[in-house]
Structure formats: structure tokens, C-alpha cells
Chains A and B, each alone.
Chain A
């Protein structure tokens, strides 16, 4: 009973918040509603028994990624409404509705699950974090290390890309000065 209430409440809220993200004209509103939607998605993870995944979602997405967006927003003019040429809204919503309908039909179809067997079944008697650790550091050790190297590369790339010409202020210098110095 409570699970159903929580599921439908979270679903409606998440869909509404993500619709705000997609349709809003203001970057700040879009980012805030995206962060709120991600908090609610971590609620889904907790409902599904994936406690560790929910915590990681909260820390990485809501904490790190959103903070990164908020920092990046200082470089852009975030308070002004963005003007976009939206060409043919009807076609976009038709295509989106068709994709939604197709996905719903596919996912609502009955699953013949007799042949599906768990490769790495959930370990009984331990918490979710411990079970995740047991699988992650045995079967998925190599992808884990590769992911670590990928994060390191991404960090270096981010620092180099964003840190170049950091001594130039975007607000006091106009763009022509910066682009002239680019061509030198």
C-alpha cells in the first residue's frame, strides 16, 4: 500500500519536474527542477532495495554534477531567459509522443521470464552495500578500474579546458578582445 502511494507520488513528481526542465526558458529553473527530480529518482532506488545506488545517486548527481552545473552557470548569463528558435513544436511533440507510446507498448508487453536467470544473484544475509561490493570487486574489477582511469582523464580534461585563459574576466573584457587574442 505504502509502496504504491510512494511509487505514484514519486512518478508524478518526477515527470512533472523533468517536464519543467525540458520546457522551461530559464536555465536556473531548469537546473533546480532537474536536481529535485534526481533526488526523487534516488527515492525510487531506495524503494527498489538498491540502497547504495540511491546514496551514490544523491552524492554524485545531486551533489557533484549539479554543483558542477551551478559553477558552470557562473560563466554563462543564467538569469536571462534564453531565446530559442523552436522550429515546428507540433512535430517535436508528435515524435516524442510516438517514442513514449512505442516504449510503453514495448515495456507493457508480457516478459517471458522463465529463461532469465540471475548471473550474480543477490547474496543473502548481507546488506545491499556489502553485496554490491562483493560483486563489484570480484566480477567487475576491471571495468571498475577502467572507470577510475576514465574519471581521471575526464578530470584532467575538464581542468585543462576550463582553466585555459582563466585570468581573463568574461564580464570586464568584451568578447572581441578575447577572440583577438585567440587568433594571435
Chain B
């Protein structure tokens, strides 16, 4: 029988995958993809908690997470296009203008 902990462990594993992506990637677009993975893993955890406790609050939070992710993508991609037009690259090492 699949229980709540199954879904939570799956969500934790997906979150760790996204975390590895955020740490390892230097390309800004790939960083965005990794962020989407982390948001989706949180959504799975919310939906599972909502199902196993018979409470709709988890699904509400998942909706708002989806709304936040959609607006993040809209603004973020606009910024990425501006950055690419200005610098011609999306690599974080090339974009770093402050030497520290």
C-alpha cells in the first residue's frame, strides 16, 4: 500500500535532484529548470498531504505555487533575454562583473 511517506520520500528525492542542479549548473536557463524541479517536488508533497489528511489546504498551496512559478518564469525569461542581448551569453561565470 502506498502511504504518505512514499510520496514524501519521492518529493525529497526530486528536491535533492533540483538542489544538485542549482548548485552544479552555471547556465542561467539550466538554473531555471532546476528551480522548476524543486517547485514541482514541493507540489507533490502538498498534494500527498492533502490526500492523506483529507484536507484541501494542500491543494490550495499547490495552486498558489503554480501561480508563483508561472509569474517567475514570465519575469525571469524577460530578464534572461535582456541579459543575453547585453552580454551575448548566459553563463554565470562570464556574467560575474564584480570581482570578489
Flag if B43 contacts A104 (CB, 8 Å): no
Q: Residues 50-73 of chain A: 1 if any B CB is under 8 Å from the residue's CB, otherwise 0?
A: 101100110011001100110011
Flag if B37 contacts A18 (CB, 8 Å): yes
Would you list which residues of chain A between 77 and 106 have a CB under 8 Å from chain B?
82, 84-86, 89, 92-93, 95-97, 99-100, 103-104, 106
Q: Choose among A18, A106, A113, A154 the residue that contacts B14 (Cβ–Cβ < 8 A).
A: A18
Q: Residues 45-82 of chain B: 1 if any A CB is under 8 Å from the residue's CB, otherwise 0?
A: 00110110111110110111011111111110111111
Flag if B33 contacts A157 (CB, 8 Å): no
Q: For B66, list chain A residues within 8 Å (CB).
A: 56-57, 60-61
Q: How many residues of B are counted as interface, with CB atoms below 8 angstroms from the partner's CB atoms?
A: 73
Q: For B87, list chain A residues within 8 Å (CB).
A: 175
Flag if B26 contacts A155 (CB, 8 Å): no
Q: For A154, list chain B residues within 8 Å (CB).
A: 70-72, 74-75
| A31 nearest CB across to chain B (Å) | 7
Interface residues of A (CB under 8 A from B): 3-4, 7, 11, 14-15, 18-19, 21-22, 27, 30-31, 34, 37-38, 41, 44-45, 48-50, 52-53, 56-57, 60-61, 64-65, 68-69, 72-73, 75-76, 82, 84-86, 89, 92-93, 95-97, 99-100, 103-104, 106-108, 111, 113, 116, 118-122, 131-132, 135-136, 139-140, 143, 147, 150-151, 153-155, 157-162, 164-165, 168, 170, 175, 178-179, 182
Flag if A96 contacts B55 (CB, 8 Å): no
The secondary structure that dominates the B interface is helix
| B7 nearest CB across to chain A (Å) | 7
Q: Choose among A19, A31, A165 the residue that contacts B85 (Cβ–Cβ < 8 A).
A: A165
Q: For A30, list chain B residues within 8 Å (CB).
A: 30, 33
Q: Choose among B13, B34, B43 the residue that contacts A41 (Cβ–Cβ < 8 A).
A: B43
Q: List 5 A-B contacts (CB under 8 A).
A: A22-B33, A34-B33, A48-B50, A84-B91, A107-B8
